[in-house]
Homo-oligomer: A and B are copies of this chain.
């Protein structure tokens, strides 16, 4: 049975729960529980040594000359884009022997968080509290665009306003951006993803899920003041560790009604969607080795999500989960009702319940077809139109502050594979018929009298958006060029633009209503249960902490750490099974490796997707590990933290160094690390 975590605030937090803001660290908790003092210098150094990957993950600076550590599975998007039929970085890994062999990522952006400013009052003053949600959403968007633009112009930093505590707080995050990022070293997928989909989210593990890149400035390795030194000591059970990374999204503030929506509508819908795409990509892969290579990275991502959501749904389908949540909510609501200062806030819960119904009705309504080429087309069409408007009226992602990042992705040199695009677009058109109905006028316009497969072939064969030059021409040509372009993919994006905008604005209205309601829930909870705690995750930098700690599973003791000898044994135990072969480099090096070196470990720190690639540091701020997974018992942590069995899974820092030296002949690289 799952134990339910305390959801709201510091006094009710459970064990090592918490993803804390760097400007609101849990100093007292760390002092009381671990006798640890998180000094400002310690925290600032850790923050400035941490980076966010715009492809969806975390990382850290690990040398003065620009080295960056992240997961292989965070880097795999880049590895995939840098691969060709002749140079298969995903299968074979990579090691740059010199700076000139380091390979530039086609569209990676790394963000280093340099400051946080509370802008709540500036946002609130600009929003009319009595306005209808669609109006207040517009006002909020406008003031946020202005704050971001002002900050960008004043500082030159990427500037993002982040909504926290369901809309009770707004903070302005300023980032130094690194857009020249190069690949230095990656192991083979066989080592990084050892055990494949079968072992994913399991523990014990033996994965070298690590990759090293380097950031450049002005064509030279960036000179960094803040980077992590590495500990050479093995991890000890009970040791206090910290995780500094960017958890993507949690939903711990969610009401019981919102969890029911996840259980009954959203996650079943997502799972149907993911399984559909999984089977589609598998079918495409069957066409041959090159097809398989083209589809692999996306297929892995889909399988990973499918497995994660399956675990989340299993947690929600346990009758205890929502019963416990409901019981806690009943107690809280009874207290709210008795307190005249906040009793008016109780309506927020029923508003949230009503909003879930609206959200359920929006599921599957989308005209944003998942295909790179269509994605480019839609971005081009929106960019051209948004550029006609003043900055504060533009869609999020199309403001002045967001322009560089948008162009970084729109002008990516990543290859586009027409065969894969065709299969993906045909399936999206087929799904469009299913969700909108074949007789919808928009569907008929989109299909133009053809079957999904024929139409997809015509679009992909007809468009020129596969080349950067063509996209650049349309970006530079602006609305005059885009609005009359005869490119069929651009024409398709124009066809669906109006409906896309309608759906987007409808979704924004719903999100705004929900945000306002959760802000009142936050207010009520704070009034009843006190302040403190942490806001739900927002893919921004957070600090989590915990102990290196094993656990019990079906009465069996699962140890906190594994080592290299375990990896070789695991391969033997699963001989002949798919994804359980260690790469040749490991087999060849077996006699050279110190088999007792730690390879993976678990700790109780509170993490979630987006934390992949986060550094794990000790009290001294030295790197001891690299987050790469959560175990299956942690999959409910989207809405519920538990340290009974839930664990974060990391590669040990000492294991990375051992592999570089003993397996990958990368002693020169290892020598640079931490220096």
A interface list, Cβ under 8 A from B: 196-198, 260, 263-264, 268, 271-272, 275-276, 278-279, 283, 286-289, 306, 313-314, 317-320, 322, 430, 433-434, 437-438, 444, 447, 449-454, 574, 576-579
Contact = CB atoms under 8 A, between A and B. Distances in A.
B578 A286 contact: yes
A429 to B, nearest CB: 8
Given A272-B276, A319-B449, 17 more contacts: A263-B433, A263-B438, A264-B437, A272-B272, A272-B275, A275-B276, A275-B279, A279-B279, A279-B306, A314-B430, A314-B451, A314-B452, A317-B433, A317-B451, A319-B444, A319-B447, A320-B451
Nearest to A273: B272
The 9 closest A-B CB pairs, nearest first, are A318-B451, A198-B286, A275-B275, A272-B272, A268-B434, A275-B279, A317-B433, A319-B449, A275-B276
Given A264-B434, A314-B451, A451-B314, A577 B279 contact: no
Identical copies in the complex: 2
B286 A438 contact: no
Contacts of A318: 450-451, 454
A317 to B, nearest CB: 5
A155 to B, nearest CB: 48
B289 A576 contact: yes
A450 B319 CA distance: 6
Contact of A317 (B197, B272, B452, B574): B452
Contact of A438 (B322, B451, B574): B322
A286 B430 contact: no
A317 B439 CA distance: 11
Contact of A287 (B198, B278, B288, B447): B198
19 contacts: A196-B286, A197-B283, A197-B286, A198-B283, A264-B434, A268-B434, A271-B276, A275-B276, A275-B279, A279-B279, A286-B577, A286-B579, A289-B576, A317-B433, A317-B451, A318-B451, A319-B444, A320-B449, A322-B438
Contacts of A263: 433, 438
A195 to B, nearest CB: 9
Contacts of A268: 434
A577 B283 CA distance: 13
Contacts of A314: 430, 451-453
Contacts of A264: 434, 437-438
Contact of A430 (B317, B438, B452): B317
B313 A438 contact: no
A423 to B, nearest CB: 12
A577 B289 contact: yes
A157 B672 CA distance: 85
A263 B279 CA distance: 20
A435 to B, nearest CB: 9
Contacts of A313: 430
A444 B322 CA distance: 13
A449 B286 CA distance: 43
A260 B438 contact: yes
Nearest to A316: B438
A288 B574 contact: yes
Nearest to A575: B289
Contacts of A454: 318
Contacts of A447: 319
A451 B275 contact: no
A324 to B, nearest CB: 12
Nearest to A267: B434
Contact of A577 (B288, B450, B574): B288
A179 B433 CA distance: 47
A52 B578 CA distance: 38
Contacts of A574: 288
A279 B287 CA distance: 19
Contacts of A444: 319
A453 B288 CA distance: 37
Nearest to A430: B317
A387 to B, nearest CB: 36
A271 B430 CA distance: 12
A263 B198 CA distance: 35
Given A275-B276, A289-B576, A438 B196 contact: no
Contacts of A197: 283, 286
Contacts of A449: 319-320
A178 to B, nearest CB: 38
A574 B271 CA distance: 33
Contacts of A276: 271-272, 275
A454 B314 CA distance: 10
A198 to B, nearest CB: 4
B279 A317 contact: no
Contacts of A286: 196-198, 577-579
A578 B271 CA distance: 27
A450 B263 CA distance: 16
Most B C-beta atoms less than 10 A away, residue of A283, A306, A444, A453: A283
Contacts of A451: 314, 317-320
A579 B198 CA distance: 21
Contacts of A288: 574, 577
Contacts of A322: 438
A318 B453 CA distance: 9
A507 B289 CA distance: 47
A447 B451 CA distance: 44
Nearest to A433: B317
A230 to B, nearest CB: 35
Contacts of A452: 314, 317
